[in-house]
Amino acid sequence: MSTGKILTIIVIGFALIQLVPYGRNHTNPPVTGEPSWDSERTRELFFKACRDCHSNETLWPWYANIAPASWLAQFDVDHGREYLNVSEWGRPEKNEGDEAAEMVQEGKMPPFFYLPLHPEANLSDEEKRELIEGLQATFGTEHHETTHE
pTM of the model: 0.81
Across the range 70-91, mean pLDDT stands at 92
Question: What value does the mean pLDDT take over residues 72-97?
Answer: 89
Cα(17)–Cα(117) distance, rounded to whole angstroms?
22
Q: What is the pLDDT of residue 147?
A: 43
CB-based contact 37:130 (threshold 8 Å): no
CA gap 144, 127 in Å, rounded = 23
Q: Where are the domains of the chain?
A: 3-139
pLDDT at 73 over 60: yes
pLDDT of residue 85 exceeding 90, the answer is yes
Which pLDDT score is estimated for 24? Answer: 67
- Least confident segment among 2-11, 101-110, 131-140: 2-11
* Virtual torsion, Cα 26, 44, 136, 51, nearest 10 deg: 10
